[in-house]
Amino acid sequence: MYDAVADPYCYDGTTVLKNIPSLRTQAELDAFEAISTATRANAPLPAGHFSVKQYQAIHRHLFQDVYKWAGRYRTVRLGKDGSAFCYPDHIAPEMTKLFADLKAKRYLGLRSADAFASAAAEFLATLNAIHPFREGNGRTQTSFLALIADHAGHPLDLNRLERDPFLAAMVVSFKEDITPLAEQIRLLIA
């Protein structure tokens, strides 16, 4: 569960995010969100040039049936396990900076599989620290990473993704050690 204070995204007196079908329990929302986003993930993702706008469009695509704010940056401070994510007023400039760096690095192309995994881990760790959306950051990150990997000539087999080790690597990357995350990404390269 995320740590948020006075969260206007949630129904009053709960930690359940306001959602399009008005589901009021976390279990119902989790089930609906899982089915809805899995269905959307199987459809073609929005095309683009690996830009901030494409990234937002992917979030909107995946979560459009669940949240009215899909694709829009969060407006509340957010943290997890005692670590704070980027403050809302810094999200847009940090995203612009990160995606300009991605472009300067040729979208991580022209690299060996190992070098790609390391560069992708660095990008993903920074993107996760920004955490631009109120919910759905991980699924959006994974979808976007798969697009970048395909473009770079290192397609990912997401069926190999083991949730717990990958999440543990993401947590460690937040503390600036990207090695485990690079190893997890390398395991996904087909």
Per-residue pLDDT at 83: 86
The DSSP call for residue 91 is: H
CA geometry: angle at 153 spanning 150 and 156, to 5°?
50
Helix (H) or strand (E) holding 151: helix 137-151
Place 190 in a pLDDT band, splitting at 50, 70 and 90: confident
Domain positions in the chain: 26-188
Tell me what the pLDDT averaged over the chain comes to. 95
Instruction: Render the burial of 5-31: b for 16+ CB within 10 Å, e for the rest.
Output: eebebeeeeeebbbbeeebeeeeebee
pLDDT one-digit tens code per residue, 117-143? 999 999 999 999 999 999 999 999 999
By three-state DSSP, how is residue 84 classified?
strand
Is CATH 1.10.10.410 what the domain over 26-188 is classified as, yes or no?
Answer: no
Average pLDDT over every residue of 166-182: 94
pLDDT one-digit tens code per residue, 5-54? 579 999 999 999 999 999 999 999 999 999 999 999 999 999 999 999 99
The DSSP call for residue 135 is: S
Q: Are 29 and 41 in contact (CB under 8 A)?
A: no
Check pLDDT > 80 for residue 89.
yes
- Measure the CA–CA gap between 72 and 57, rounded to whole angstroms: 9
- Measure the CA–CA gap between 38 and 107, rounded to whole angstroms: 26
Average pLDDT over every residue of 137-158: 97
Per-residue pLDDT at 3: 54
